Structure 1
Amino acid sequence: MSSDPWGRVDETGTVYVRTAEGEQVVGSWQAGTPEEALAYFERKYEGLVVEIGLLERRVKTTDLSAKDAQAAIDHLRQQVDEHHAVGDLQALRVRLDALVATVDKRREERKAQRAKQTDEARKAKEALVAEAEELAQSEQWRSAGERLRALVDTWKGLPRLDRKSDDELWHRFSHARSAFSKRRKAHFASLDAQREEARRTKEKLVAEAEALSGSTDWGVTAARYRDLMAQWKAAGRAQREAEDDLWNRFRGAQDVFFAARSGVFAERDAEQAENLKLKEELAAEAEKLVPVTDLKAARAAFRSINERWEAIGHVPRDARPKVEGRMHAVERALQESEENEWRRTNPEARARAEGLTGQLQAAVDKLRGQIDAARASGNNARADKLAKELEGRQALLDQALKGLHEFGG
């Protein structure tokens, strides 16, 4: 028979462990000496000590869920209660009880954290709804529409609430967007109607302008063309395609008349030649605005030049396309600069870039936390795998930050 402070082996080979409730049978040993029997079951005990130590470390240093932790505790407690090891089993039970208390505390902390996150999500969604309802009354169709789309992206990034609360807030949010869309649709429908009315009005003006183009009653007809031009400007714009076509016909009819008048009034050639000289000087002045460095100042300067241009009068017909082409080239450069500025400051594209950058930053931070946790738990293989994934995510984040910098952010 052999024994130690926590167990013994009797003459039949039965192994016992000593507990506060008395001796408990551990198992039977027939393959060797009693000392070997005790050593075997003591190793079993040491194995339990190691497993409990590992579980304690996981609970302390990782985000192991309370459910999984409790399952692991129950599994180890079962092994301790089955008395298949020789050692201080009561000490192991005490450590497991302490683990249960730690896990319960962690569960309550996470419950409180979830409640806090839910409250924050509720407040965030209520703020989105309030802003959407305010935007629903806006007449800034472009900017309000872009902002509403950005709010939708923000909403999608927030956690869900309980079904009833989430549905109620989403209903208000969706209703505000629908109300804005209906008002915007009605506005542009009205605008389309106005443009259609402008088209019909301008078709009548074109018809009269074309009918007058062969007149030789120079004074009266020129005055009538001025009246038609005033009516043209007062009619508003038609649809773009129709507007361009109608304008070309209207301007073409005037050109026919004024060209004929110019042929009759040869004495005005000198005046038109002087006009050409003045317009060429203005065109040269306008061309100095390109390339555009200060869009606002360039626009103001071009308007001033254009007003003086309009005040000058006609130039010889064959010279007009070239000199007007120079002005049109400057105007196109200004328009392109405006469009580039708008694209650069487009809030929707900026919001997408900021959203992407935020998502990638969160992913990088999460991976770093997972790598630290894996290394802390001794799982270097997982840590190395996550490190490779982090490298790719970091490269994407750097690229996204570079893109966001181009927006001035």
Structure 2
Amino acid sequence: MDKLQIFRGELLHCLADPADVGDDNSYEYFQDGLMIVKSGLVEAIGPALELLPKLPAGVSITHYTKSLIVPGFIDCHLHYPQTEMIASYGEQLLEWLETYTFPTEREFGDPGKASDVAEFFFDELMRNGTTSALVFGTVHKQSVDAFFTAAQKRRLRMICGKVLMDRNAPAYLTDTPESGYLDSKELAERWHGVDRLRYAITPRFAPTSSDEQLALAGKLLMEYPDLYLHTHLAENISEVEWVKDLFPDRSGYLDVYAHHGLLTKRSVFAHCLHLSDDEFRLMHESGAGIAFCPTSNLFLGSGLFNLANAENQKVKVGLATDVGAGTSFSLLQTISDLYKTQQLRNHRLSPFKSLYLATLGGAHTLDLDELIGNFLPGKEADFVVLDCEATPLIARRLWRSKNLTEKLFALQMLGDDRVVKHVHIMGEEVYRRK
């Protein structure tokens, strides 16, 4: 028998990108709304007074008051093995990798370590309202097995992959083109499409993969075209110059990936701070997406992403924390940094665009918008209940809010994990703030 769940409260979800349709046409809002969930999927959403008479007699209703119910947040790029090295001091990208990242990732050859960090990682995601994510493992197969095992147990929609890295890294973290190909193939066949899990072919970034390794990654993507491609692109100026030296025959950084067949509608490139207009056009033509990581871009001093250019070129963009260079698991805190980076670019960002990037925009970037990202009928019922009185300051600020725009913006600027009161996965509560 199908399980019926009814949720009542203030409901908000995105219907389209505000850059395409304008703020007012980009979302749907019910001050007193009802969401009907059947067997983990949204069956209907609308005004409570219209839907209540249609419910079966005696059905139980979960009523969330003084709260805002939104779709689960979607993080388009982060590194679960870097959880314990978050907030590491004093370096920019390339030095940061050598000083902190590589020694930390070495530990994930131990399956016990990988499992322990994976469980903590998912606890943190739930505490911050993140219900889906695209995630880096390490070069070790066991890091990916541990990740997917924990995600499957929690019924989460997650994407992950084993890092490919055969040069310009410590010997204890490198694979070979052939071993990377075979290990990735084995993991993809074991996990891709199982329950709510997907696999991503994951070169760390062009400098740590040889042409041979990137070619075999492209071969694997051709053999399994529904897999994802997940890597970094044009994060740091020194990195971009390094790529020019390593791949002198290519016209630019993105062309390194394009040359090896790594641009598809399921390719997601983190950062993309230093792209040319031609590279933005190629991103659009290929259907590839960008994971925008404002917090880590600020933390490592990498630069300010040109969101307006991505919008003009119709490139898919989703929001990302990029833990551990990002200093918070909270996509609300990430939205705060997102807004500030665009202020520095004289690009005023509406709170509805920010919500879009953290929900439906992320789903679109990950090619999952038919399954998650909003509350349209048939979507998987992953959602977050935000507490409008989470702190005295938030309560006082929202009391003065004159409309939904002010309220949403204040929650985004002042919110963090304390605002996340409940998290539901496929309709089932999986987290309740203590």
Q: Same fold (TM over 0.5)?
A: no
More strand by percentage: 2
Determine which structure has the larger helix proportion and give its number: 1
User: TM (normalized to structure 2)?
Assistant: 0.22
TM-score normalised by L of structure 1? 0.23
Identify the structure with bigger relative contact order (alpha carbons < 8 Å, sequence gap 6+). Answer: 2
